[in-house]
Structures are given as structure tokens and as C-alpha cells.
């Protein structure tokens, strides 16, 4: 154990074995330890550096949010829902599609920091916090949509259970009320789960900063000293969270899928919607993590030490696996409808594949299935960050197309041909959707300069537990279970 | 209050029968319904985009090849389902099942406009107020005082002219008698020139509605979905649907 | 007997020496209650030969889950009976739909109370010598102990032999 990585214990290394060790060092972050104070310095530097480009982006995005989101939404509130493109029979459109999209993206953080933690996947260590931030801001962007799509948003609080003089409570049998509970639970738990492992890093930042930063970090560090009791409690709490937040994550997207599945809409009444949406969310989320990691690595200082090709490689493999799982669930739904569905259901499938918006369906299949299956099996592709960036962006485009297929296209083609309708999104809807994307990036940019993006204590913990062990004629990385 | 009503009123279960053999598709019912219930005009463009607000609509299908093309009319309105799929999904209880009339109620001042109910209705019977519609003068002085005017953001749908049902009940109670068949006529039934629409109390086995429901030609729209609609159609004309 | 609060620091990779140092302190009669170990990465107490810390966070978590469960039962089964509104073909308080709200509120109770437990336990007073040094954030292992003045010098020499860095008394401040 210990932070040094001597290839042997005792004997002298031969030149061949030393270069192998060197390769392992460059490849794996866990085998390439640096003194902790240097890592702290790197992370603090990445956090406190705000270039002109950064300020340009922040101001630009702030304006974009003000105009695209706040402006367009205010216009819609004042004028009426009619400025959106929704109509009979497609009463839910881009707003609900984007809502489901953001909730899907928010599964990224929980997957990385909870599931990978539970499975002891050591490569997760440098990017758990970056992924958790995605969850929090993805939920922040997504949770606005149940308000945006309301016809009378000024009385939205009637959905909240509170005692009132009329004894009127929300309808707990409605999936929308389940949505409210699920998203609130997930948002609060996610934020706390972001905060708990942040405390020791807040203490580190507190000791290395002055002025307003020092004030904030001192407040958030809760007087952390690093005593055994503090560590013991923190790790217990993190462990409880890691195990408990996984069922919460599954339940959130299942409940969102039940908004559709419990309905009498032909094409939505499918028992597979729960798992289908969850797998789609994880696919979407993990791809978004890779997208963000690429941007972080290219734009923030010192990030290329923490985020290496091995991470893109590992996440790329996961994306391929989840793309296959997604294809399995999609095909399940498809073949059942194609083979034995009633006339209305078969019509819906025909519309998806051959109707005027069939290009959406094909986009979905190409981006979610064809592209990952064609490229992600190749190790070279997985280890090329910019290629992974493009592939994962396309995967998320595909996932958006999936939700678009499921929601407006299916709603417009129900049991009575006289009532079929084509949905044309308007500029207001597109503007608000873009506005929430800008909000997400805006919040992320600001957060990246306020809290340290890499959990240095977890990285060091990992580095301390990794050594190279000589077995036979070679060194093999081995992990000690320090926990 | 509803308990009081339930004790004094007889058993009510309002239903409607529409005879498709004699429906001519003249849209008089549509017009009468719009006048009775203060339904706004949305304009030609909005209508073309499917934003029409009519609570009753005539579904028209063309059959045959030119020049032997014939239309096939079916008036479609809220079926006032016994097991309505629109009711459980409303998060704020804006749509309920009426205990007394046994029809589906829409509570305008509780609706927050999530439009889940509209998605869940297999008959697409519900409409939404997309804007605050301006009714052009002098139509804005022709409002029915018994029916509220809805603002933007609220769902609405056919109510079986519940204002006329309540008036009928109150009239009967004032006269000191039970309600009889023919006391309550919704606007669509009143306006229909061929008397294709019959309305009445299904719990009274002697009412015209109950007799027509027992006809050989009777069918209910999308019956296999289990919504238990209160509107029965009689096959005929070109409509042999089921 | 007069005691001073002393602090020694070990580099991040000197874990063996740190545990030796704690044993030395034990030999000098300084009990575990008078020793605090602070560090930048978590070390299990067994590694350093220390008694396990206590926490009530799991119990607080379960209590919170129970609280959430009770609230959800009230919302699902009591509240609809206050003003009975019937909806299409569904009983007033069906069990399948109640499961969703029950699950969510139970988990919310569990997770929020876990956090509050940690929060309260961190803010509540702790025993053992107080003190902190910024180098802890840089990965050092710090050992604070109440040293009786007569044994001060001996212990210091012994610890320095093991490789410890003795910290000046002025630098030992709360964070």
C-alpha cells in the first residue's frame, strides 16, 4: 500500500519492466499519484481561473436565458398556450419531450456516483462530482417544465399538498402528482448527495482561499477537521445514500414513464415503458457525462491529469452496453405491436416508420443504435476524446428524437382518423427548449468556478489503494480495500 | 349540499341516444351547443390547425370513389363515461364524477391546464382554451347567463347541458312533482331538425332514451375500452361502426 | 496535572509510522480519549489502532424513513376522506396508486434524515483535543494529544525519531 508505485518490492527493476510501469502510469490515473498538495493546487487553480472566454460565455448564456427562456415564457404566460404549437389531439408537445429529456440526463450523476460506487468501479473517482452537478442542473432545467406546460401556471401550487381551508388536496391517484413527489425527492437527494462528498473538499478550499471564497467555503465546510468520527459518519452517510438513491433514481424515471403508460392512449399502454425509459435515461445520461468530460478536459486547467483516455474508454464501453439494452427494449415494444397489436396500434407504428415525420424515427434508430454499434466496439475510437464527444452528442440527439416519437407523434394518430392531427412546434417552444439548455450550461459554468470539480480526497484515496503487484513476470495493478 | 340533493331528487342517470340513420350532418347541434354554452370563435386559421372549441363535432368520413362519393356523419361529444379515463389523471380534481347526475363534471376554476385529461380521452372530446378569445360584437351580448365564460388555460367539454338539468330539477321541485321524460332537453337535441338526438334519464325504464338503448341497432363507441359511455349510437345510414 | 495540546504531522504515505506513534503515546500513558486523529483521506480506525467511532446516523436514517412512511400513509389514506371526490371507476384510496407516494416519501425521509443526522453530529461538540492545521487538507495525518507537561520532551523526541513533524503550539487553531 502507500502512494508510491514501485514495480517490485525489493528488487531492482529491469529497463523493460520499468517502461511497462511507465506506460501504466500514464494510462491510469490511479497508478499515477501526485502529492496531495499538488493535486489540491491543480484543482484550486482550475476553479479560480476565469478567462475572458469564460466570461464571454457566461454573459452570452445569461442573455440567452433571459431572452429565450424568461422572455418567451413570459410572453406565453401573458398571451396563452396557443403560441405553442400544441392542438387537438396533440395536447403535449416539445415541452413534455424536453422535460423527459432533462430528467433522463439527470440520471447521469446518480449512475456514475452511486451505481459505479456500489460496484467499486475505481475509474469513477475523478468525475463523480462533475456527473452529480449534471444531475442537479439537469433536474433544475427539467423541473421547470411541469410549470411551463401548465395552462394556468399562476395556480401551480394547487398541485402541492398543503392544508387549506377548503380541505382540497391534490389527487394522489394522478401520475402528475407522483411526478411532483418523485422529482422533489430526487432533486433534494441529489443535491445532498452532491454536498456530502463535497465537505472535505470545501475544507481544503477553505484553507487555500481568501475573501468571499473563503467565507463561502468556511460556511459550507461545516467546521470539518477530518477527525475519525467525522470521516466515519460521512462515509456511513455516503454509503446509505449510494444504496438508497439507486431505487429513487429508478423510481423517478419509471414514474415519468407512467405519465404516459397508465393512459388510454394507443401506443402508450405498454408495461415495458418503465424499464425502457430507465435504460434510455441511463444511455442519455452517461453519454452526456462523456460530452461534459470532453468539454471540461479541453477547457479547464489541469483537467487532463484527472480525466484520461481510460475514462472515455470505460464510459464508451458502458454506452455500447446500454445502447444494446435500449435496442432490446425498443424492439420488444415494436415487435409486440407489429405482430399482435390492434388496428389502432399498428397504425401508430406505420405512422412512426412511414409518416411525414418518419425522419424523426430514423434519426432515433441511427443515433441510438447504428452509431454506437458501428463505432464504440473499436478501442481506438473509444480512446479518442473528440470522436467520443461527437458520438455522445448524436446519442443524445437520438434520445430526444425517441421522446419526440413517443409523445407528439403517437398522440396525433389515435383511434379515430377524423381526429388525427399533425403537430408543428412553434418558435416559442423551440426557444424555451433552447433556453433551458442554455440555463443548464450557464449553471454548470458558474458552478465549475465555485466548487472544485474533482473530488481530490476520493482520487487520493483511490491512488493510495492502488499498487502494482509483481505476479510472475509482470506487474499487475491491484486494489486494496481501504474501506 | 350534494347529499341533500341526492335525498330529494329521484335517481338520475342521464344518457343520450343518437340515431345515425336520420342524422343529416347539418351541424345545427354544433351551432346550438356553441350558443348555449358560450363557446368562443377561434377563427379560420386556428380551426384549420385543430384548435376548434366546439364541444359537439360532426365526424364526417367520405366513402366511395368519385363520382359516387357519400359522406358519413357521426356527431361526437363527451360520452360522459361511467369509468372515465380523464378523471383519475387530473392532479387537482378539476374533473370529477357527479354523484347526482352521474355525468362527468369539469370544474373550470380548479383546472390548472395540464391537459392530461385531454390526452387520455379516447374520443378526443375535450377542448382547451388556448387564448382569451375575443367574441366580436354584437355576439358578446348574446351570452347564456346560466353558463360561465372560460378564460385561457382551462379545459372544457360537453356537460350534457348540466345547467338545463339543474333547471329541470328545480322546476320539477317547484311544481312539486318528479322530473318527467322531456323536462330536460340539451341544446343539441333541441336544435336537431330530424330529432336524431334523444336525451333522458336512463334509470327510468319507460323514458324514450331507455327504450331506444334497447334497440337492435344500438352500439356504444369504443365500447371495448371499458369506459362505459352514456351516449348510445343507433346504426344506420352509412354508420355501422362499433 | 497540566497538559498541553500537541499536534504532530505525518506525511500521507507514513501510515505505519503514524500507527507506531499512537502506540508510543499509549506507552506514555496517554489514553485514547486524549488523542484525536485528523486526516485528509479517511483511514479506518483499525489501521491506526484506534477504537471505532460511534455514530447514530443509521438509526436517524431509519427514524426518518419511518416518519416519511407515516406522512405518506396520512396523505394517501386519511386526506382523501376529508373531502370525498370520486373519480372514474377508481376507489377513493386505491392501494396501487398509494404505493408510489409511499415509496417516494419514505425514501425522502430516509435521505433527508441521513443528511440531518450527519449535519447535527458534525455540529455537536466532540470530545478529545481540538485543533486543526491546514496541511491536513494536503493529505497529512495529524495526531492531536493531551500531553502531560512532565512527559512533553520525552514524547517529542520519541515521535521525532519516528519521523513526525511537531507543530508549533500557536499554529493549532480550529478551522
The domain limits of chain B are 2-234
Q: Which of C87, C91, C97 is the best substitution to test chain B (most B C-beta atoms within 10 A)?
A: C87
- Minimum distance, in Å, between the CA of residue A403 and any CA atom of chain B: 16
Work out whether the CA dihedral A165, A171, A177, A182 comes out positive or negative.
positive
| Whether C9 contacts C140, CB under 8 Å | yes
Q: What is the widest separation between alpha-carbon atoms in chain A?
A: 84
Contacts of A463 in chain C (CB under 8 A): none
Contacts of C85 in chain B (CB under 8 A): 93, 96
Cβ contact B228–C89 (<8 Å): yes
| pLDDT for residue A11 is more than 50 | no
- Minimum distance, in Å, between the CA of residue B11 and any CA atom of chain C: 18
Distance CA A28, CA B75 (A): 71
Distance CA A33, CA A402 (A): 43
Q: Terminal CA-to-CA distance of chain B, rounded, Å? A: 39
Cβ contact A82–B61 (<8 Å): no
In terms of CA atoms, which chain B residue is nearest residue C80? B93
Cβ contact A88–B52 (<8 Å): yes
ipTM of the complex: 0.91
Cβ contact C82–A169 (<8 Å): yes
Instruction: Cell 402508450: give the residue.
Output: A268
Contacts of B87 in chain C (CB under 8 A): 87-90
φ, ψ at B17 (rounded to 5°) = -125, 135
Could you tell me which of B177, B182, B172, B235 has the C-alpha nearest to residue B206?
A: B182
Query: Which of A170, A418, A424 faces B91 most closely, judged by CB atoms?
Result: A170
Identify whether residues C46 and C130 lie together within a single domain: yes
- Please state the rounded mean pLDDT for residues B121-126: 94
Cα B81 from chain centre: 11
Model confidence at B240, pLDDT cuts 50, 70, 90, reads: low
Beta bridge partners, B199, equal: B16
Contacts of C90 in chain B (CB under 8 A): 87-88
Could you read off the pLDDT of C105-120 as tens digits, one per residue?
Answer: 999 999 999 999 999 9
Cβ contact C118–A208 (<8 Å): no
In terms of CA atoms, which chain B residue is nearest residue A146? B114
Q: Where are the alpha helices (DSSP H) in A144-197?
A: 145-148, 175-195
User: Residue C21 maps to which CATH number?
Assistant: 3.30.70
Q: Which of A44, A203, A232 is the best substitution to test chain C (most C C-beta atoms within 10 A)?
A: A232
Q: For the full predicted model, state whether its pTM sits above 0.90.
A: yes
Could you read off the pLDDT of A453-475 as tens digits, one per residue?
Answer: 999 999 988 988 888 888 888 88
The chains found to touch A (3+ Cβ pairs under 8 angstroms) are B, C
Last residue of a domain, one of C123, C140, C155: C123
- Output C48 or A428, whichever has higher pLDDT: A428
Could you tell me which of A110, A250, A189 has the C-alpha nearest to residue C105?
A: A189
DSSP string covering A109-135, please?
HHIIIIIHHHTT-GGGGGGHHHHHHHH
Identify whether residues C69 and C108 lie together within a single domain: yes
- Minimum distance, in Å, between the CA of residue A389 and any CA atom of chain C: 33
- Please state the rounded mean pLDDT for residues A88-104: 95
C1 touches chain A (CB under 8 A): no
| pLDDT for residue A418 is more than 50 | yes
Identify whether residues C82 and C131 lie together within a single domain: no
Domain spans of chain A?
A: 33-197+223-452
Q: Which of B91, B127, B128 is the best substitution to test chain A (most A C-beta atoms within 10 A)?
A: B91
- Please state the rounded mean pLDDT for residues B183-201: 94
Spell A68-84 as b/e; 16+ CB within 10 A means b: bbebbbeebbeebbbbb
3-state class (DSSP) for residue A11: coil
| pLDDT for residue A7 is more than 70 | no
Residue C25's domain comprises 3-53+126-171
What does DSSP assign to residue B127? E
**Lowest mean pLDDT, pick from A451-455, B19-23, B78-82, B137-141:** B137-141
Spell A267-277 as b/e; 16+ CB within 10 A means b: bbebeebbbbb
C85 touches chain B (CB under 8 A): yes
Cβ contact C87–B85 (<8 Å): no
C94 touches chain A (CB under 8 A): yes
| pLDDT for residue B172 is more than 50 | yes
Give the angle subtended at the CA of B73 by the CAs of B226 and B37, to the nearest 5°.
75
What pLDDT score was predicted for residue A8?
35
Q: Residues for chain A: how many in total?
A: 483
Contacts of A171 in chain C (CB under 8 A): 85, 87
- Minimum distance, in Å, between the CA of residue C14 and any CA atom of chain A: 8
The chains found to touch C (3+ Cβ pairs under 8 angstroms) are A, B
Contacts of A125 in chain C (CB under 8 A): none
| Whether A230 contacts A161, CB under 8 Å | no
- Please state the rounded mean pLDDT for residues A167-176: 92
Could you read off the pLDDT of A229-278 as tens digits, one per residue?
Answer: 899 999 999 999 999 999 999 999 999 999 999 999 999 998 899 999 99
* CATH class assigned to A33-197+223-452: mainly alpha
The CATH number that domain B2-234 falls under is: 3.30.70.20
Cβ contact A87–B124 (<8 Å): no
Cβ contact A168–B93 (<8 Å): yes
Q: Which of B3, B83, B123, B157 is the best substitution to test chain C (most C C-beta atoms within 10 A)?
A: B83
The chains found to touch B (3+ Cβ pairs under 8 angstroms) are A, C
Identify whether residues C140 and C159 lie together within a single domain: yes
Amino acid at each position: 500500500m502507500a502512494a508510491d508505485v514501485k514495480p517490485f518490492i525489493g528488487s531492482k527493476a529491469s529497463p523493460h519492466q520499468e517502461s511497462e510501469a511507465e506506460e501504466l502510469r500514464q494510462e491510469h490515473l490511479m497508478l499515477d499519484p501526485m502529492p496531495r498538495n499538488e493535486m489540491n493546487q491543480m484543482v484550486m487553480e482550475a476553479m479560480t481561473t476565469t478567462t475572458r472566454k469564460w466570461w464571454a460565455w457566461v454573459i452570452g448564456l445569461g442573455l440567452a436565458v433571459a431572452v429565450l427562456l424568461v422572455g418567451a415564457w413570459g410572453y406565453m404566460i401573458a398571451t396563452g398556450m396557443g403560441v405553442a404549437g400544441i392542438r387537438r389531439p396533440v395536447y403535449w408537445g416539445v415541452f413534455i419531450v424536453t422535460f423527459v429529456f432533462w430528467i433522463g440526463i439527470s440520471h447521469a450523476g446518480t449512475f456514475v456516483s452511486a451505481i459505479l460506487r456500489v460496484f467499486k468501479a475505481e475509474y469513477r473517482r475523478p468525475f463523480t462530482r462533475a456527473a452529480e452537478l449534471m444531475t442537479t442542473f439537469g433536474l433544475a432545467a427539467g423541473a421547470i417544465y411541469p410549470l411551463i406546460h401548465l395552462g394556468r401556471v399562476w395556480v401551480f401550487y394547487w398541485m402541492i399538498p398543503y392544508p387549506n381551508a377548503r380541505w382540497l388536496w391534490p389527487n394522489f391517484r394522478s401520475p402528475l402528482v407522483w411526478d411532483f413527489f418523485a422529482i422533489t425527492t430526487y432533486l433534494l437527494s441529489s443535491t445532498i448527495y452532491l454536498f456530502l462528498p463535497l465537505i472535505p473538499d470545501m475544507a481544503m478550499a477553505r484553507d487555500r482561499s481568501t475573501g468571499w471564497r473563503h467565507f463561502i467555503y468556511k460556511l459550507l465546510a461545516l467546521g470539518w477537521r477530518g477527525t475519525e468520527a467525522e470521516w466515519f459518519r460521512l462515509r456511513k452517510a455516503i454509503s446509505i445514500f449510494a444504496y438508497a438513491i439507486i431505487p429513487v433514481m429508478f423510481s423517478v424515471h419509471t414514474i415519468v414513464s407512467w405519465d404516459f403508460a397508465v393512459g388510454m392512449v394507443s401506443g402508450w399502454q405498454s408495461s415495458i415503458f418503465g424499464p425502457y425509459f430507465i435504460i434510455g435515461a441511463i444511455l442519455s445520461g452517461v453519454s452526456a457525462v462523456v460530452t461534459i468530460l470532453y468539454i471540461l478536459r479541453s477547457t479547464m486547467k489541469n483537467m487532463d491529469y484527472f480525466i484520461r483516455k481510460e475514462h472515455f474508454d470505460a464510459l464508451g464501453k458502458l454506452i455500447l452496453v446500454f445502447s444494446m439494452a435500449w435496442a432490446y427494449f425498443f424492439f420488444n415494444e415494436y415487435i409486440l405491436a407489429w405482430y399482435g397489436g390492434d388496428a389502432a396500434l399498428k397504425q401508430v407504428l406505420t405512422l412512426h416508420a412511414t409518416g411525414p415525420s418518419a425522419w424523426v424515427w430514423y434519426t432515433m434508430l441511427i443515433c441510438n443504435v447504428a452509431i454506437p454499434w458501428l463505432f464504440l466496439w473499436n478501442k481506438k475510437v473509444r480512446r479518442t476524446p473528440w470522436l467520443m464527444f461527437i458520438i455522445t452528442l448524436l446519442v443524445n440527439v437520438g434520445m430526444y428524437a425517441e421522446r419526440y416519437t413517443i409523445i407528439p407523434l403517437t398522440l396525433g394518430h389515435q383511434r379515430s382518423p377524423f381526429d388525427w392531427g399533425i403537430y408543428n412546434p412553434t418558435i416559442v417552444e423551440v426557444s424555451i427548449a433552447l433556453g433551458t439548455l442554455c440555463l443548464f450550461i450557464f449553471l454548470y459554468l458558474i458552478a465549475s468556478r465555485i466548487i472544485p470539480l474533482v473530488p481530490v480526497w476520493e482520487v487520493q484515496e483511490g491512488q493510495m489503494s492502488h499498487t502494482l503487484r509483481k505476479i510472475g513476470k509482470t506487474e499487475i495493478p491491484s486494489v486494496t480495500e481501504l474501506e | 349540499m350534494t347529499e341533500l340533493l341526492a335525498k330529494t331528487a329521484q335517481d338520475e342517470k342521464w344518457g343520450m341516444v343518437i340515431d345515425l340513420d336520420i342524422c343529416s350532418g347539418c351541424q345545427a347541434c354544433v351551432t346550438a351547443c356553441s350558443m348555449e354554452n358560450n363557446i368562443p370563435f377561434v377563427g379560420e386559421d386556428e380551426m384549420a390547425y385543430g384548435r376548434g372549441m366546439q364541444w359537439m363535432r360532426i365526424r364526417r368520413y367520405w366513402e366511395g370513389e368519385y363520382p359516387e362519393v357519400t359522406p358519413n356523419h357521426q356527431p361526437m361529444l363527451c360520452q360522459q363515461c361511467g369509468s372515465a379515463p380523464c378523471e383519475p389523471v387530473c392532479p387537482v380534481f378539476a374533473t370529477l364524477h357527479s354523484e347526482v347526475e352521474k355525468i362527468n363534471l369539469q370544474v373550470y376554476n380548479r383546472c390548472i391546464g395540464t391537459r392530461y385529461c385531454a390526452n387520455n380521452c379516447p374520443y378526443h372530446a375535450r377542448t382547451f382554451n388556448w387564448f382569451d378569445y375575443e367574441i366580436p360584437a354584437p355576439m358578446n351580448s348574446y351570452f347564456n347567463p346560466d353558463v360561465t365564460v372560460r378564460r385561457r388555460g382551462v379545459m372544457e367539454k360537453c356537460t350534457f347541458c348540466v345547467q338545463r338539468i339543474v333547471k329541470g330539477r328545480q322546476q320539477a321541485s317547484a311544481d312539486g312533482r318528479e322530473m318527467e321524460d322531456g323536462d330536460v332537453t340539451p341544446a343539441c337535441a333541441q336544435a336537431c331538425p330530424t330529432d336524431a338526438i334523444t336525451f333522458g334519464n336512463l334509470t327510468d325504464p319507460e323514458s324514450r332514451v331507455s327504450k331506444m338503448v334497447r334497440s337492435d341497432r344500438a352500439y356504444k363507441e369504443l365500447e371495448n375500452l371499458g369506459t362505459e359511455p352514456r351516449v348510445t349510437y343507433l346504426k344506420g345510414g352509412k354508420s355501422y361502426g362499433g | 496535572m497540566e497538559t498541553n495540546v500537541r499536534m504532530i504531522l505525518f506525511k500521507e504515505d507514513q501510515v505505519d509510522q503514524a500507527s507506531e506513534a499512537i502506540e508510543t503515546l499509549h506507552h506514555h500513558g496517554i489514553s485514547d480519549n486524549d488523542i484525536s486523529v485528523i486526516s485528509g483521506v479517511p483511514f479506518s480506525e483499525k489501521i491506526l489502532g484506534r477504537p471505532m467511532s460511534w455514530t447514530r446516523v443509521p438509526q436517524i436514517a431509519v427514524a426518518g424513513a419511518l416518519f416519511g412512511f407515516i406522512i405518506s400513509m396520512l396523505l394517501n389514506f386519511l386526506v382523501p376522506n376529508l373531502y370525498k371526490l370520486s373519480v372514474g371507476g377508481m376507489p377513493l384510496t386505491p392501494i396501487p396508486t398509494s404505493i408510489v407516494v409511499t415509496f417516494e416519501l419514505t425514501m425522502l425521509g430516509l435521505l433527508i434524515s441521513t443528511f440531518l443526522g450527519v449535519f447535527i453530529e458534525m455540529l455537536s461538540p466532540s470530545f478529545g483535543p481540538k485543533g486543526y492545521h491546514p496541511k491536513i487538507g494536503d493529505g497529512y495525518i495529524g495526531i492531536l494529544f493531551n500531553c502531560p507537561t512532565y512527559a512533553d520532551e520525552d514524547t517529542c523526541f520519541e515521535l521525532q525519531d519516528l519521523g513526525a513533524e511537531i507543530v508549533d503550539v500557536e499554529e493549532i487553531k480550529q478551522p
